[in-house]
Structure formats: structure tokens, C-alpha cells
Amino acid sequence: MLGRSLILKTAAWKPVERLVRRSFLFRPLVRRFIAGDTLEEAMTHAEKLAERGLATSLDYLGENTLNETEALAAKATYIAMLERIARSPHRDRINISIKLTQCGLDQGESFAERNFREVLTVAAKTDTFVRVDMESSDYTERTIAMIERVFPDHPNTGTVLQSYLYRTPDDAERLIRLGCRVRIVKGAYLEPETVAFKEKSRVDEAYIEIAKQLMSRGRYPAIATHDAKIIDALKAYAKAEGIDRSRFEFQMLYGIRRDLQDGLRDEGYPVRVYVPFGDMWYPYFTRRLAERPANAFFILKSLFKG
Ligand SMILES: Cc1cc2nc3c(=O)[nH]c(=O)nc-3n(C[C@H](O)[C@H](O)[C@H](O)COP(=O)(O)OP(=O)(O)OC[C@H]3O[C@@H](n4cnc5c(N)ncnc54)[C@H](O)[C@@H]3O)c2cc1C
């Protein structure tokens, strides 16, 4: 069985990236995780999901802009997404997730902050929530600090915490104090042992602990996982503590565990599906492969055959 870090390292190898990007062989697998290349395709999926009683968060794929022009183009796309959502009959069920490195964080914190604030101003006019995804640990502190600066002026934002990082219990306290919405995830990046747990059991234990804190003391947390055991444990916790189903939501990724998404919806829990779109799908796609080695094994087998 291929390990997660081996898959992420192999996928970062340029010849592998070129092959996977160009080959039609992988298209069905890419399409399973990515809703399409355009905003219109993503909206079609979001509206269909809304009709099935599922909320969505649209993600315009891309990270780490190389210059200010790229970051400004990403900001313009975020604004176009907000304007398009505002015209949808299902606008109450659709929000967006963005990345600070796509707002230009590598080009400078104040530049990224200006772009981020501009997006939030448009989102406030259309009454839409904007979630800041969490990227690799190089960006954790800058992301949380940015949210702390911006949230008092723009309460329509929140972010994500990753249970694999040792620092996350302290960050959860910071964000509970701040009062912003937090999505808790396990974490999808390749991190060194100096900052993150390696053993799945430690990541899962931390996840449950932090999720409980957020559910008891936080503001409308998002429990983002496909892990049925964790979901059951947190449902039991909510029941034991008298936490109403309307005070938190479950979130899952587009194309993963649709059965679980529908099941939770049928039980009356709010469920939101994260819907990625755009042509910069490769890094997102490789993180999904690393979570499910069987998929990556299929790709490697095809590479060696061909
Ligand atoms: C809505 C949402 C937003 C996210 N945002 C971020 C973010 O901002 N930053 C970040 O670092 N990470 C993010 N993630 C990814 C997250 O960190 C995990 O990498 C991912 O969710 C897999 O972990 P898991 O909790 O599902 O548990 P796992 O233990 O990895 O998986 C549990 C079960 O889910 C199923 N499963 C999980 N992944 C896959 C897959 N790729 N293909 C098929 N089946 C699968 C399998 O049945 C597996 O046994 C997000 C995840 C979700 C659901």
C-alpha cells in the first residue's frame, strides 16, 4: 500500500504532473472530484445539490499566485462568483471558500489583505459567507492573524483548523474567543514531524477533542470529514450535551461519500458540499489521491504500463 507522503512527493514530480494533466485516461477520476472548468458548471452542480437539500461552498481552484496580476485576476473571479450566487434562486445555500495565497499572500500581507477585504465587502452586500481555507503550515499563523485583523470589520468570514497540527488546540481557543466560524478538518498537506502528528490515531483523537470544544463553545462550527466513526462520535456528543442540530453543520467534499451526505441530510443535519472548479485542479486532485491510495495506485499502474 502506498503511503500518503510518498503519493504527495511522487505527484509533485513534474513529469508525473505533465502526464496526469495531459492524459485522457485520468479524466474520469479528475471529474469525480472536480465539478468542472467554469463557474457556470460549478453553479449547475451547486443548484442541483441545493435541490437535493444540500448546501455548498464553491472553491475556485488555484493557490500561490506568482505575481500581483494573477492575484488580482483571482480576486475578480471571487467577486464574479459572489455576483453569480446572488442571482441564484438557491443563494441562501451557496457560499464560497477562498485561499489567501490566491489573494496574493506570497506577494505581501497588506496586498492580500486589501484583496481579501474587497471580496468581503462585496460578500456582505450579497449576504454571503466567505471561508478562508487553511493551507500548509507555512501559512497557518498568517492566516489566523489575518482573520483576527479582518473579522471585527467583516463578520461574514471564518477559517479552517487542521487537527494534525500540534498548535491547533491553542488556535481553536483564539478563534473561539474571536467568535468566528471554524471548519475543523484533519489536514491535507505534507507536514514535517516537528509540526504535525504522523499517526492517524493521534490526528483522529485531536479532531474529536477540538470538534467538541467548537461544538460546545464555538460559533456554528463545520465538522468537515468523511470519517463515519468520527461523525457518529460527534453526533452522540451533541445528543448528550443537548446541542441542537441547527448549531453546527457537516461538510464533505464533492464526489466523496455521497451516501453519507444524503444520510445525514435525511436525519435532519445541515450538510454542505465543497465544490471545486477551475483548470488549476492538479494540487487539489493529488491531495484527494493521497487520501485514498487505491486511486493513486491506479494512476501509477497506468504510468508504468504506458
Ligand atoms: C469540506 C472540506 C473542506 C476541507 N478543507 C480543507 C482545508 O481548508 N485545508 C486542509 O488542509 N484540508 C481540508 N480538507 C481535507 C481534509 O483535511 C482531509 O484531508 C480530508 O477530508 C480527508 O480526511 P477525512 O476527514 O475524510 O478522513 P480520512 O480518515 O482520510 O477518511 C475517512 C474515510 O473517508 C473516505 N475518503 C476520504 N478521502 C477520500 C478520497 N479522497 N477519496 C475517496 N474516499 C475518501 C474513505 O472512505 C475513508 O476511509 C477539507 C475537507 C473537507 C471535507
Kind of pairing between the strands at 181-185 and 271-277: unpaired
Q: Assess whether 110 and 242 both reside in one domain.
A: yes
11 pLDDT band, cuts 50/70/90, is: confident
Give the CATH number for residue 191: 3.20.20.220
**Catalytic option among 4, 84, 131, 183:** 183
Is 183 a known active-site residue? yes
Q: What's residue 304's pLDDT?
A: 63
Q: Mean pLDDT throughout 33-37?
A: 94
- Asked, for residue 99, whether it belongs to a domain, the answer is yes
Which residue among 291, 292, 295, 298 has the greatest number of ligand 1 atoms within 8 angstroms of its CB, and so is best to mutate? 291
This prediction's pTM: 0.94
Instruction: Assess if residue 41 is contained within a domain.
Output: no
Ligand 1 atom with minimal separation from the 164 CA: 17
- The Cβ of residue 186 has, within 10 Å, a number of other Cβ atoms equal to 19
Q: What's the CA gap between 281 and 201, in Å, rounded?
A: 29
pLDDT tens profile 234-279: 999 999 999 999 999 999 999 999 999 999 999 999 999 999 999 9
Task: Look at residue 294 and tell me whether its pLDDT is greater than 80.
Answer: no
Set 59, 133, 171, 204: catalytic member: 133
DSSP symbols for the chain: ---HHHHHHHHTSHHHHHHHHH-GGGHHHHHHH---SSHHHHHHHHHHHHHTT-EEEEEE-----SSHHHHHHHHHHHHHHHHHHHTSTTGGGEEEEE-TTTTTGGG-HHHHHHHHHHHHHHHHHTT--EEE----GGGHHHHHHHHHHHTTT-TTEEEEEETTBTTHHHHHHHHHHHT-EEEEE---S---TTTB--SHHHHHHHHHHHHHHHHHHSEEEEEE---HHHHHHHHHHHHHHT--GGG-EEEEETTS-HHHHHHHHHTT--EEEEEEESS--HHHHHHHHHH-HHHHHHHHHHHHH-
Instruction: Establish if 40 belongs to a structural domain.
Output: no
210, three cell numbers: 477540538
Domain that holds residue 97: 50-280
Q: What is the pLDDT of residue 1?
A: 41
pLDDT of residue 305: 57
Q: Is 202 a catalytic residue?
A: no
**Are 81 and 161 part of one and the same domain?**
yes
CA distances from 177 to 100, 118, 215, 227, 238 (A): 22, 25, 14, 28, 21
For a mutational test of ligand 1's pocket, the pick from 8, 56, 185, i.e. the residue with the most ligand atoms closer than 8 A to its C-beta, is: 185
Q: What is the mean pLDDT of residues 89-116?
A: 98
- What is the average pLDDT across 104-122? 98
Dihedral sign from CA coordinates of 284, 290, 295, 296: positive
Task: Check whether residue 118 and residue 4 sit in a common domain.
Answer: no
What's the whole-number average pLDDT of the chain?
Answer: 94
Residue 301 banded pLDDT, cuts 50, 70, 90: low
How many angstroms separate the alpha carbon of residue 291 from the centre of ligand 1?
7
Residue 34 to residue 65: CA distance in whole angstroms: 20
**Residues 10 and 70 both lie in one domain:** no
Contact 1, 293 (CB under 8 A): yes
Residue with cell 463578520: 155
Task: Count structural domains, the chain.
Answer: 2
Residues 163-213: pLDDT tens digits? Answer: 999 999 999 999 999 999 999 999 999 999 999 999 999 999 999 999 999
Q: Specify whether 8 is located in the same domain as 104.
A: no
The model's pLDDT over 123-143, given as tens digits with 9 standing for 90+, comes to 999 999 999 999 999 999 999
Q: What percent of the chain has pLDDT over 70?
A: 96
Pocket of ligand 1 from Cβ distances under 6 Å: 133-134, 160, 162, 185-189, 224-227, 251-253, 256-257, 274, 288, 291-292
Whole-number Å distance, alpha carbon 111 to ligand 1 midpoint, is 31
Residue (of 29, 6, 31) closest to 279 by Cα position = 31
